[in-house]
Amino acid sequence: MESLEIILERYTGVPLSDTEKNAMAEQKNTLYRQLLSQMSPADLSASVRKTLDDLRGKGLKLAIGSSSKNAVFILERIGLGDYFDEISDGNNITRSKPDPEVFLKAADYLGVPPDLCLVIEDAVAGVEAAHRAGMQAVAIGDAAEQLAGDYQIMDFAELMTIV
């Protein structure tokens, strides 16, 4: 619904009812899932897969903390359905980043104290959520360009120099 509200910010027509908004959100998600269904393991870089393998090889527990309700679907489509020990996503949270809920739940599911968790994030709001959860954050992409994290990397493989 939050993404629909962002889309509707420019809408200047007749105010929409909650029922209409819910129908639009459902249609938006259906179209989005149709696009996601075209994803495949070919969309995952070899570098990301190798880095995840290396992290697992170090015995680290891995979790996904995503506001998306499609996280599991995406992971399955790109061949990472079994790479993560736990998943905290839009299906089990009520507040989006920068609220720390998604990361705190992921840590809880893993049985790991927040101060021992390291979050990898591409959004400034996600880095803020990690910090609010008492976790360190590795910023990548947009967040790294804004120097948002405790560490900045430009390529996922650089993560191995931090852990």
Unique residue bearing structure tokens 């430009």: 154
**Predicted local confidence at residue 15, as pLDDT:** 86
**Predicted local confidence at residue 7, as pLDDT:** 81
Q: Which residues contact 138 (CB under 8 A, 6 or more apart)?
A: 118, 119, 120, 121, 149, 150, 151, 152, 153, 159, 162
Q: What is the pLDDT along the chain (163 residues), one digit of tens a residue?
A: 777 887 888 887 888 899 999 999 889 888 988 999 999 999 999 999 999 999 999 999 999 999 888 999 999 999 999 999 999 999 999 998 999 999 999 999 999 999 999 999 999 999 999 999 999 999 999 999 999 999 999 999 999 999 9
Q: What is the pTM of this model?
A: 0.84
CATH of domain 45-161: 3.40.50.1000
Parse the chain into domains and list their residue ranges. 2-36, 45-161
**Predicted local confidence at residue 46, as pLDDT:** 94
